Chain A
Amino acid sequence: MSEILRIDKASKSYVNRRGETVQALDEVSLSLREGETRFVVGPSGSGKSTLLLCAGGLLHPDGGSVSLEGEDIYALPAEARAALRSRRIGFVFQQFHLIPYLDVTDNILAPSLAGFDGDPRPRAEELIDRFGLGPRRDHPPAELSVGERQRVALARALLHRPRLLLADEPTGNLDADNGRNAMDCLADFARSGGAVLVVTHDPAFATPEALHLEKGRLVANEGAAA
């Protein structure tokens, strides 16, 4: 199983509104291999979202490195990093962040704005079928249920067949059934050879295998890189 994501001693600090420096990440290290799903749990403000943004190439850590399949993503120029994100990383956000004026199909196709090898529509159709969104394909997000929106967000994240899926509180806005479905989808993705990093404060995921993040540090990091 080859390594997909490697975070090595990533640190990130902010200056808050009161002018105080907050250490959001403090030398966090972890790695993810093909077929692996990792949960990072921790209370609000523990640095979970910061970790996810750093892992996704969106937030340059102050220190340490982040590699995707061996490539240091922050060594890439911004546009190349954007291209890498579009093709190899999928994001699923707690708020879904669907584009309000696009219907289901177009929302799923949105990542193809950055380019796509071939025609993305068959892939979008495949995802629509897989997530049971066929009857809703022409509906805008405002006309979808929360579970449907989550599935659209997942489908959008998978359009490019990414290697890494990053999910921020993927079940946070879902009822139990929809939450279970969402997690099944993530598991399916991992089984198909991808890697999934999920950050959540849901205690249900606070398993012994989960990575616990507190004040920017991993306090139980069994899967951490050496």
Chain B
Amino acid sequence: MMSIWRLIGKELLHRKTALVLGLLSITTAMTAWIGAVSLMKANDLETDRLLAERERATGEEMQRLEDDYRKIMRELGYNVLILPKGQDLSRLRALGHPDTTMPYENAERLAKGGIETLNHLLPVLQQRVEWPEHGLEIILSGTPGQIPVAHKKKFLTPDGSAYRNPIMETLAGDELILGHSVAQTLGLEAGDETVLRDRAFQVKKVNPAEGTSDDIAVWARLDWVQEQLGMDGRINLILALECVCSAESLGIITAEVNGLVPDVQVMEFSSRVKARALARNRAEEAHREALEAEREHRTEITGAQQRFASVLSPLVVGGAVVWMFFLFLGNVRERRVEIGILRAIGTAESTLLAAFLLKSVAFGLLGAVVGFFLGHLLAAAWAGITLFSGDFWALLDFRLLAAALIAAPALCALAAWCAALPAIRKDPARILCEA
């Protein structure tokens, strides 16, 4: 039996130019459409990749700044001072040390309480006294060394008992650290032997000149100083290093410290560090702004492409449909007598219409598949995506293929239907009379 497919196949092979033109037309339309959509997707992928790269670079830069900041902070020394709540700050300035005390347990409570905003806690007991052997006024300072904040393991030795890089080294019972002015007055240097309050000591280190009351400080073990001053179990300040890299950190630190130890006050005393923190925040902000600007720029480009595609794609697709309509119209006119004779010998209108529609659907399906892959390839080439790379496959959107497989045959069928229906409906007798 003569089948409709055989009729279509033979007709397509007979009119090769029309076949090529028809396929070219619908393929061009689908290529333009798929290409435009794929190009936008490629742009999105490129934006994501670029932003991810920038974010990674920003992250690395922030990490570097963080490390720099931490090192600088450590090099600059302690920048937070925790004092007994009742300490008069004007007296602190006048004396060069606090004149009220608090229990040593305050320092331990902070270290064990899991404090986040401070590190390198150093309990200190200070009092202005005379170095009787030399008749020299000094600030006798006792410290047990830094108390490890237990949960900050990355700063601690493997057994967690000490800091890997302490700001102040722990003193042995017979060691002293001298302020610059004291050492200069007494002509002492690191390694020298000396006697303080009838006890022999070795000078472990001489601090550099600070231009502050630290220059007349003499550091020894806390327990010995407590004994000398008759203040067992007491300290009068805790030095610490701030962890929060924010210019507005004091409020946060105070809140956290007071949450653990209520009867203390917190002071910050390193404007340089604050400036550094501020600079770091500014740098981070600048990075984020640059990132945001890039994102906006890419969004603008995508928007412009979308606007362009939203105009171009319908134009190309619409043009292709009109072109297809005229191609089908030409085909129908060429086959006018054939339509008449087939009608005359009894072929139903629906069969003839189906022949035209099925042919157009075949055009559409083929155009959709070829257009999908061609559009995808062109978009990838345009966007500089390497063939068969991860991005290339990520660009493939089979939902687009599905849409093309629906849209292209539908548009072709519409064009064919518009062109063929009047001819098929035409009275075959009239066609044959005119032939």
Contacts and interface: CB of A to CB of B under 8 A. Distances in A.
A79 B348 contact: yes
Contacts of A78: 349
Interface string A109-125: 11111101001110000
A55 to B, nearest CB: 11
A206 interface: no
A162 to B, nearest CB: 10
9 contacts: A58-B427, A58-B429, A85-B344, A91-B344, A101-B13, A101-B14, A111-B345, A114-B345, A116-B1
A155 B362 CA distance: 32
B2 A113 contact: yes
Contacts of B11: 101
Contact of B341 (A83, A93, A121): A93
Chain B interface secondary structure, helix, strand, loop or mixed?
helix
Contacts of B348: 79, 82-83, 114
Nearest to A85: B346
B341 A113 contact: no
Contacts of B4: 113
Contact of A110 (B2, B13, B337): B2
A163 interface: no
Interface in A98-153: 99-102, 106, 109-114, 116, 119-121
Given A97-B337, A113-B351, A106 B1 contact: no
Interface residues of B, number: 31
Contacts of A106: 2, 6, 10
B391 to A, nearest CB: 47
Interface string B10-37: 1101110000000000000000000000
A84 B349 CA distance: 14
A114 B344 contact: no
A79 B343 CA distance: 10
A119 B346 contact: no
A89 B351 CA distance: 19
A86 interface: yes
Contact of B433 (A49, A116, A157): A49
Contacts of A56: 344
Interface in B405-435: 427-429, 432-433, 435
A111 B435 contact: no
Contacts of A58: 344, 427-429, 432
B331 to A, nearest CB: 12
